[in-house]
Structure 1
Amino acid sequence: MTDWLTNATLLQRVKNTHDDSSWDEFNEYYRPYIYMITKGLNIRHHDALEITQMIIIKIWKHLPEFNYDPDKGYFRGWLRTVTVNTVRNYIAKKAYSHESIEGLEEVEEGKGFNNKVTDAEIEAIADREWEHYICDLAWNNVKADFNDNVQEVYAQLSTGTKCETIAENIGIKCNTVYIYRKRIQEKLYKEIRRLNRELG
């Protein structure tokens, strides 16, 4: 990631559609999140990639007229609306052309995109994916500050492994695992708060 800018500053820069570096930065931050929402709506990988690209193009066209006002809500709320509308239009177009919807959706275990999904359900999906995305991004930003043992503790904690088991696996004292966990939490939560403030 390049030097950190506030969300409002990045959006202002992106309004100049000829500013390639700003668009690269925007893509780096937001493309994964857009993809995650699309996948969260049970769209298969190939179509989710295509939809994500369509959304990026749509945003590229409309951001110059977009006025970001944090008092009216998070930028990611606007992204969520654009994403869901694009998914619905994509599904409708496939249905109209008589293409297989089952081939478009992830239908394992009876799941699949439902055009009747409520706004509250969509918001819950988007918020969940945002939390996952920001947590992963935060860890990628701070993990270099920790040695290999601490990184391994985080990896095992992320899978739900108990501290006692982690200590045995790595060959360290159980109390050391707790100390590492506290250090990770402090730095990670600080980074998550910063990312939410700058990218939210």
Structure 2
Amino acid sequence: MDNWNTRQTLLMRAKNPDDQAAWEEFVAYYKGFLKVVIYKINPSTALSEDFLQSVLLEIWRSLPRFEVDVERAKFRTWLSVLVRNTVLNQIKKEQKQNKIRKELEPHIQPSEPELDQMVQREWELHISRLALENISKRFTGKAMEVFNMSLQGQSIGSICNELELTPESAYTLKNRVKKYLVREIKRLRSELEQ
């Protein structure tokens, strides 16, 4: 089974609370994204795992009721609102119980527009990382090395010296990877942002 071509199928399977394998795959696919968003909302590392568990539990409870409706809301939008609301509710609950007052000062919580922008940035990074991971299997030789080195800010000259390539070869390899990366990002967006 091609894991990257079945996200929609996975979403439908994960909606079934009895499909443990689908739920575990769903968690593995989104866990990194969820952790980053949770940390951006509340930078308390002491609570991030607790918040992640609360978010996952809320997703598990709510997912069976989620309906794919491109006109109304994309899955990402639904997921972002659910994460934000769950974490903010947990913060309020913790504050009421006075367990962690110093770690959760109101001035460190982002406003709703800031939070929405942060979630959007993190989603784009998540999609880019997935796309890069997916296409890296397609290339052999020095293509991925050239592309990664250019992402790290190395000049074509230093890449050519280090990998013993001509500038033409380096540009060709870099552009070939970039072309596939852009295509994969579009594919993932189409698949995951419905």
Instruction: Check whether TM > 0.5.
Output: yes
* Deviations 1:73-118, CA, capped at 9 Å, x for gaps: 221111111111122122212222223344368xxxxx8324xx03
2:185 pairs with 1:185: no
CA 42–170 in structure 1, closer or farther in 2 if over 3 Å, else same? farther
TM-score (norm 2): 0.87
Give the C-alpha shift of residue 169 in structure 1.
2.4
1:194 maps to 2:190:
no
- 1:113 correspondence with 2:106: no
**Is the CA contact 1:14–1:22 (under 8 Å) kept in the aligned structure 2?**
yes
Q: How do 1:65-84 and structure 2 match up within 5 A? A: 65-84=65-84
Deviation at 1:153, TM superposition (A): 1.4
Name the Cα RMSD after superposition: 2.1
Unaligned runs of 5+ in 1: 106-110
- Partner secondary structure for residue 145 of structure 1: coil
Which stretch of the first structure deviates more once superposed, 173-182 or 143-152?
Answer: 143-152
Distance 1:101 1:172, change over 3 A: farther
Among residues 161, 174, 183, which one is paired with 2:167 in the alignment?
A: 174
Corresponding residue for residue 127 of structure 1: 120
Aligned partner of 2:94 in structure 1 is: 94
Residue 64 of structure 2 corresponds to residue 64 of structure 1: yes
Aligned 8 A contact 2:55 2:87 in 1:
no
Whole-angstrom distance in 2 between the partners of 1:63 and 1:197: 20
Q: Report the counterpart of residue 38 of structure 1 in structure 2.
A: 38
Aligned length: 191
- Structure 2 stretches lacking a partner, 5+ long: none
Runs of 4+ in 1 over 6 A off after TM superposition: none
Could you report, residue by residue, the CA deviation over 1:35-81 in whole angstroms, capped at 9, with x for unpaired residues? Answer: 12112224233422221221111111111122221221221111111
User: Normalised by the size of structure 1, how large is the TM-score?
Assistant: 0.85
Contact 1:166/1:177 (CA < 8 Å) preserved in 2? yes
Q: Secondary structure at the match of 2:3?
A: coil
Q: State the 1:6 CA deviation.
A: 4.7
Aligned-partner Cα distance in 2 for 1:163–1:45 = 39
> Equivalent residue for 1:103?
103
